[in-house]
């Protein structure tokens, strides 16, 4: 990890009961454990960024890495004695210049040579208009994209408020100021010893090349190019009752240093922290969009993380609800030498697009890591990415709809698991058959205390019995793990694949958002209840079985009430297939035998009462 420099601020065993009851309790334990692991891993085990160094350490390191800018008084004295006056270069009035290709339309203002709008033509907001990556409220408070960041507030303000002269190379602007890419635009400003040149090269991709140089009396000033105020949907700023999402838009900081890629959520990013390291790229992003800076010379890279907050209504659909802080994450990237040369990707986190953009490698060529890791599939990427590719293949080769692709892939997975389900049913039946012998062993050691060493003998006898009868105590649990193992990767795919954003299916307007009608969560609860009801569990107490049969559907139904409807679609499809399979199993001779055993044991218990 980089150092931080801020020049300014600084088993359950068989003895526990065995049988169908043990299987059910083991299954429950497995499921709850997996849920806890899935939804807790990233929070507790994500790698934190290093803490900022003390101001003294930062000042010392900065002095070694970059020539400090002269103090204002020194600059004035130097200008008077050693430097000739810089001719004034500035525009007479504020104007806009628009650069456009098939993917975007970028509107520049010559005031500060900044971006007013960065519109993606192929992606849309909730009103159906092309999506603007520049969020107006946040940008009004914290700055516009491609503004300049320095460690002197007065200088920063001057750089971002000056009126720059604009020069266009390539396709000349139309009467309305429209420039068609490929083209090059230069912004130039000079006054009182200060000179600034910012040049941008545009092609047919989402990537823009940027060169920026700030000099004061001929001395380079460390001025970083920044994207200061978030990007993408940021729907919470709309404060509308017609929002696609009812939650805050998550944002994060991601980077690659010498081929080592990592990321951190906005809540764990400190503001105004300077990090000097060999950054191959540094980026800010949300679920579906990112702005990534790729320095031309990673060894000289310097990065400043910008973390601000805006108080917004806690309930995005209710402007009058209690306000809570909303993260606004930004980033500034440049060179410790002063002159900045880098590329900027600002666009959708589409797999093919990100995979085509390489950072600068060790040999100074664009053969370093790609930006594909900006897609946050999480720690189960090795499952999530193939799952995403399967879904995309189904969509692109016949079905054409992500909802139907989810259903079809789930059917295929469940059919592939059918042999394991049959094996699990047979394992449960074997356990039911030997349950009287297991109970006899338990009665043999019934008077032993829990810490009695002879309980080990009881467990050994039970294990020997199961081995003799060919019973695997977890045989009926393992097939249940596969749907749960796929649950988290499905969640990550549906949450992070930009193709799922605003993808519809029947009554669902957006598979990446919860079902607005709550039909799917209700169906999940009902189908799970029915499946639990018709599944025999002769080794479990009836009261305990009723509790388990009710608790699990409620847990999953409530969880999926608030998550992506595509995830609920996957789960309900699996539930329907499981219910169908269980009905088929119940009608087989194995199933009839299981129900007969369950009925005999129920009658026996009632007889004792």
**Residues ≥6 apart with Cβ < 8 Å to 499:** 350, 392, 395, 402
| Helix ranges, 335-444 (H) | 351-355, 381-394, 402-416, 418-444
Write down the pLDDT at residue 81: 43
pLDDT the model gives residue 345: 97
Judge whether residue 115 has pLDDT over 90. yes
pLDDT of residue 52: 43
User: d(Cα 19, Cα 10) in Å, to the nearest integer?
Assistant: 62
What CA–CA distance (Å, rounded) separates 289 from 384?
19
pLDDT of residue 13: 36
Beta-ladder partners of 334: 302
pLDDT of 547 reads 64
- Residue 485: the pLDDT is 76
> Could you tell me the pLDDT band of residue 165, with boundaries at 50, 70 and 90?
very high
pLDDT digits (tens, 9 = 90+) for 267-326: 888 888 899 999 999 999 988 999 999 999 999 999 999 998 888 776 666 667 788 888
Model pLDDT, residue 53: 39
pLDDT reported for residue 313: 75
Q: What are the tens digits of pLDDT across the range 542-569?
A: 556 566 666 777 777 777 777 788 888 9
Q: pLDDT-derived band of residue 527, with 50, 70 and 90 as boundaries?
A: confident
pLDDT in tens, 386-423: 989 999 999 998 788 999 999 999 898 888 877 777 77
> What does each C-alpha distance from 412 to 408, 416, 504, 577 come to in angstroms?
6, 6, 21, 11
Tell me: pLDDT of 170 over 50. yes
Mean pLDDT of the 476-480 span? 61
* pLDDT at residue 97 in the model: 93
Is 164 strand, coil or helix? coil
- With pLDDT > 90 as the criterion, what percentage of the chain qualifies? 35
Q: How confident is the model at residue 460 (pLDDT cuts 50, 70, 90)?
A: confident
67 pLDDT band, cuts 50/70/90, is: very low
**Tens of pLDDT, residues 11-40:** 333 333 444 444 444 555 555 555 555 455
In angstroms, what CA-CA distances link 134 with 59, 106, 145, 203, 332? 34, 10, 8, 20, 16
Burial of 42 (0-12, 13-18, 19+ CB in 10 A): middle
In this structure, the dihedral spanned by the alpha carbons of residues 127, 128, 131 and 136, taken in order and rounded to 10 degrees, is: -20
pTM of the model: 0.76
Quick check: 73 pLDDT over 50?
no
Mean pLDDT (the chain) is: 78
Distance CA 20, CA 601 (A): 12
More reliable by pLDDT, 479 or 199: 199
Q: Walk me through the domains of the chain, giving residue ranges and CATH numbers.
A: 14-41+385-608 (no CATH), 85-376 (2.70.98)
- By CB atoms closer than 10 A (0-12, 13-18, 19+), residue 10 is middle
C-alpha angle 376-377-378 in degrees, rounded to nearest 5: 90
Inform me whether the pLDDT recorded for 431 exceeds 90: no
CA 92 to chain centre: 45
Contacts of 214 (CB under 8 A, 6+ apart): 148, 150, 159, 194, 195, 196, 220, 221, 223, 338
């Amino acid at each position: 990890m980089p150092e931080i420099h801020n020049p300014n601020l600084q088993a359950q065993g068989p003895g526990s009961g065995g049988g169908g009851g043990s299987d059910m309790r083991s299954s429950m334990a497995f499921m709850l454990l997996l849920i806890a692991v899935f939804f807790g891993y990233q929070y507790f085990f994500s790698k934190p960024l290093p803490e900022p160094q003390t101001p003294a350490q930062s000042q010392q390191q900065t002095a070694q890495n970059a020539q400090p800018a002269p103090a204002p008084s020194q600059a004035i004295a130097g200008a008077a004695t050693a430097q000739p006056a810089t001719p004034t270069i500035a525009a007479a009035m504020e104007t806009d210049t628009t650069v456009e290709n098939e993917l975007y339309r970028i509107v520049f203002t010559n005031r500060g040579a900044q971006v007013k709008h960065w519109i993606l033509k192929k992606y849309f907001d909730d009103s159906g208009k092309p999506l603007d990556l520049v969020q107006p409220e946040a940008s009004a408070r914290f700055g516009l994209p491609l503004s300049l960041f320095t460690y002197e507030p007065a200088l920063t303000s001057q750089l971002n408020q000056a009126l720059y002269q604009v020069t266009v190379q390539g396709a000349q602007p139309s009467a309305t100021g429209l420039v068609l890419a490929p083209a090059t635009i230069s912004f130039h400003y000079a006054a009182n010893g200060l000179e600034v040149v910012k040049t941008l090269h545009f092609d047919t991709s989402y990537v823009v090349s940027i060169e920026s140089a700030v000099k004061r009396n001929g001395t380079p000033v460390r001025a970083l190019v920044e994207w200061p105020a978030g990007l993408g949907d940021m729907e919470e700023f709309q404060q509308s009752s017609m929002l696609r999402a009812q939650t805050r838009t998550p944002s994060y900081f991601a980077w690659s240093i010498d081929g080592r890629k990592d990321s951190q959520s906005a809540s764990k990013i400190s503001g105004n922290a300077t990090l000097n390291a060999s950054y191959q790229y540094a980026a800010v992003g949300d679920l579906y969009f990112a702005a990534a800076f790729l320095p031309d010379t990673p060894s000289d890279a310097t990065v400043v993380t910008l973390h601000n907050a805006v108080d917004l209504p806690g309930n995005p659909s209710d402007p009058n609800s209690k306000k809570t802080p909303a993260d606004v994450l930004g980033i500034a990237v440049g060179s410790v030498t002063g002159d900045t040369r880098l590329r900027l990707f600002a666009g959708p986190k589409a797999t093919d697009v990100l995979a085509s953009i390489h950072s600068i490698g060790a040999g100074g060529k664009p053969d370093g890591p790609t930006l594909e890791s900006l897609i946050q599939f999480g720690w189960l990427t090795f499952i999530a990415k193939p799952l995403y590719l399967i879904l995309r293949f189904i969509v692109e080769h016949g079905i054409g709809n992500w909802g139907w692709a989810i259903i079809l892939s789930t059917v295929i997975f469940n059919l592939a698991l059918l042999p394991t389900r049959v094996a699990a049913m047979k394992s449960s039946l074997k356990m039911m058959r030997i349950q009287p012998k297991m109970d006899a062993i338990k009665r043999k050691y019934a008077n032993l205390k829990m810490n009695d060493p002879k309980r080990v003998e009881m467990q050994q006898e039970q294990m020997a019995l199961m081995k003799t009868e060919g019973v695997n105590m977890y045989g009926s649990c393992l097939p249940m793990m596969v749907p749960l193992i796929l649950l988290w990767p499905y969640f990550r795919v549906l949450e992070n694949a930009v193709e799922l954003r605003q993808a519809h299916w029947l009554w669902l307007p957006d598979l990446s958002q919860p079902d607005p009608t709550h039909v799917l969560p209700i169906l999940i609860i009902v189908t799970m209840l029915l499946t639990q009801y018709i599944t025999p569990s002769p080794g479990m107490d009836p009261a305990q079985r009723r509790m388990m049969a009710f608790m699990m559907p409620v847990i999953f139904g409530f969880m999926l009430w608030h998550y992506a409807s595509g995830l609920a679609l996957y789960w309900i499809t699996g539930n329907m297939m499981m219910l169908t399979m269980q009905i088929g199993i119940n009608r087989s001779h194995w199933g009839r035998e299981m129900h007969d055993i369950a009925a005999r044991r129920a009658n026996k218990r009632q007889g004792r009462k």
